[in-house]
Every structure is written in structure tokens, then in C-alpha cells.
Amino acid sequence: MDRARQIAIVGMAVSGFLAALKITVGWLGNSASVTADGFESTADVFASGLLLVGLTLALRPPDKNHPYGHGRVEILTGLLLGFLLLDAGCLIAWRGLASAGDSLHVPQSYAVWPLIVSIFAKLGLVLVKYRHGKKIGSSSLLADAANDSIDIVSGVVALGALSLALHDPGRFWRADHYGAFCVGLIVIVTALRVMRDTSLHLVDTMPDDQTIRVIRDAALSVPDVKGVEKCFARKTGFKYHVDLHLEVDPGITVLFSHEIAKNVRERIREQLPWVDDVLVHVEPWQPATTTRITPAA
């Protein structure tokens, strides 16, 4: 997790440098699209800072009032990141259209270089954040990676718009402003997707069927398990908490059934590192009415 915080700090530093570079060059070079992309990078600085705070709070150990830990703070951070991006996108889009009616200002050719630098820098950040976010199951880190990936798209759009304006200023001088508007729209779409994904985790949306199948198969691999009637899972931060209704022979002792349940819990946590804990409820097996779910080959 220290690695995730280091990535967030590096992301803040890179985005801060790119923001200052693009805003300065965009202003000096009369490029609305470069300036807009610079303000988008400014939002990235705040996003990475929010991510850093969320990761730090999410690592706090469970306590009396939070027996499941503080992992939901990390998911909430992803949602707040979505709101931040939405506000930034609306502001950038509005500013792009508002400046389209200004008097003719031909952008300078050197304004393309900050965009090129930004595209390659963000590509590196996306690869690092996405790989590590998938590894630790971090919603906010993946959201930040998605934000950086959209930065690449917005940079390409801004570069295309600026290139048109430079190629034929007489016909396409407004292309640079419309490029800024498109950058804002891209940020808005990204924000809505991030808010949707993180909201699904906050309302305890079940994972996909394959994930549930893997959990069931791990439980059924334990000796003396007759079946799995119900299996629920919810994400509480970086990992999942699982509720399992286990079926065992009704003729065994309570002590033996407890031992089976303990073995199931340990087996799932051992085989599936993305599962934090398992709550096992033991039920009597009824062969006449129960269809056992067997592990996949």
C-alpha cells in the first residue's frame, strides 16, 4: 500500500508540472485548447491529492465502530473524484465555448510541445496506476488511472484542434476553442463513468457470476462440504467480504460442522487473496431438495 501512496504523490508532481507548463504556454501562445488541457491537469493534482488522503484513511485498522475496517473510505474517495472531474469538465467546456467568439488570435506553433510531453507522461502514469490498482483492488487508484487515460485522449483532441488552427488560421481559427470544449466533454463523460462504477460498490452490488463461481468452487473443494446454498459478496475497500451458507451432513456434531466451516473460511482466504474475510452459516444438507453445485473443471 505504500507503493500506492508513492504513485499518488508522483502523480501529483507530474500533473502539477504539466498543468503549469500547459497553462503558461497556452496563455503565451494564444491557445485555448492547450490552456484548457492545463486546467484539466490542475484538476488532476487535486484528484491525486484526494486519492492520497483516501488511501491513507482506508489503511486504518478495524475498530469498535468499524469492524469491517475503513476500506469504504477508499471507494468514497473514488466517488468524490468523479464529482471533482465533473465540475472541472463543465468549467472547461463552458470556457471553451465562451472564448470561441473572441477576436482572432492565431496560436503559436510551439504550443504543441506541452501537449506532446503530456501525452507521453500520462501514458506512463496510466500503465503504472492501472497495473497496481488491479493488483491491490483499489477503486480510487483505478479511477485515477481512468482519469489519466482520458488525459491522453483530451491531449490528442487538443493537439488535433491546435494543428487545424495552425494549418489554416483563416478557416480554422475557432478549431482551437472548439478543441477546448471537446476536452471538457471528455472529462465530463469520464467523471460520469467513475461515479457510476464507484457507486455500484457503495450500494453493495454483487460481483460478476464468475467471481461468485470461484468462491463457491473454493468452498466446495473442502472435504465434507455437501453444497453451497447461498453465496453473497460485497466490496468493502480493497477486498471483498463474503457471506456463505454452507450445507453439511445433518447427522454430524456441532463441533464437527464448526470445524468444516473454519476450514472453508481458511481455504477461501488462502486461495483467493482478494477476499478479506468469510462469514460461514452452516445448514443441514437435504439431498431430496438440494442440487449440489460442483466445481468447474
Same domain, 16 and 117: yes
Closest CA to 31 of 119, 122, 159, 153: 159
Grid coordinates given for 184: 471538457
What gap in Å lies between CA 297 and CA 283, rounded to an integer? Answer: 26
Question: Does residue 29 fall inside a structural domain?
Answer: yes
- Please give the pLDDT value at position 259: 93
Average pLDDT over residues 203-232: 89
Question: Does residue 269 fall inside a structural domain?
Answer: yes
**Domain CATH code at residue 275:** 3.30.70.1350
Categorize the per-residue pLDDT at 297 as very low, low, confident or very high, splitting at 50, 70 and 90.
Answer: very low
Grid coordinates given for 130: 492501472
pLDDT at 51 over 80: no
For strands 275-284 and 240-248, give the pairing: parallel
Question: Does residue 117 fall inside a structural domain?
Answer: yes
**Domain CATH code at residue 121:** 1.20.1510.10
Contact (CB, 8 A) for 206 and 212: yes
Same domain, 196 and 214: no
- Please give the pLDDT value at position 290: 45
- Please give the pLDDT value at position 100: 57
Categorize the per-residue pLDDT at 66 as very low, low, confident or very high, splitting at 50, 70 and 90.
Answer: confident
Same domain, 149 and 61: yes
What gap in Å lies between CA 32 and CA 180, rounded to an integer? Answer: 6
Specify burial of residue 182 (Cβ count, 10 A radius: 0-12, 13-18, 19+).
buried
Same domain, 152 and 258: no
- Please give the pLDDT value at position 2: 65
pLDDT at 46 over 70: yes
- % of the chain with per-residue pLDDT over 70: 91
Question: Does residue 290 fall inside a structural domain?
Answer: no
Per-residue pLDDT tens digits for 234-274: 887 777 889 999 999 998 999 999 999 999 999 999 999 88
Residue that the C-alpha cell 476450514 belongs to: 263
Domain count for the chain, please give it.
2
pLDDT at 289 over 60: no
- % of the chain with per-residue pLDDT over 90: 17
What gap in Å lies between CA 164 and CA 166, rounded to an integer? Answer: 5
Same domain, 145 and 245: no
* Strongest mean pLDDT among 100-104, 161-165, 186-190, 208-212: 208-212
Q: Which residue has the higher pLDDT, 43 or 101?
A: 43
Contact (CB, 8 A) for 14 and 125: yes
- Please give the pLDDT value at position 69: 74
Sign of CA dihedral 53, 55, 60, 66: positive
Residue 231 CA to chain centroid, in angstroms?
25
Q: How many CA atoms lie within 13 A of 84 on its CB side?
A: 23
Same domain, 192 and 219: no
Grid coordinates given for 164: 487545424
Same domain, 146 and 252: no
Residues ≥6 apart with Cβ < 8 Å to 72: 58, 202, 236, 237
Per-residue pLDDT tens digits for 108-165: 888 888 889 988 998 998 888 888 877 777 766 777 787 788 778 878 887 888 888 7
Same domain, 140 and 231: no
Q: Which domain holds residue 278?
A: 209-284
Categorize the per-residue pLDDT at 173 as very low, low, confident or very high, splitting at 50, 70 and 90.
Answer: low
Collapsing DSSP states into helix, strand and coil, what is residue 277?
strand
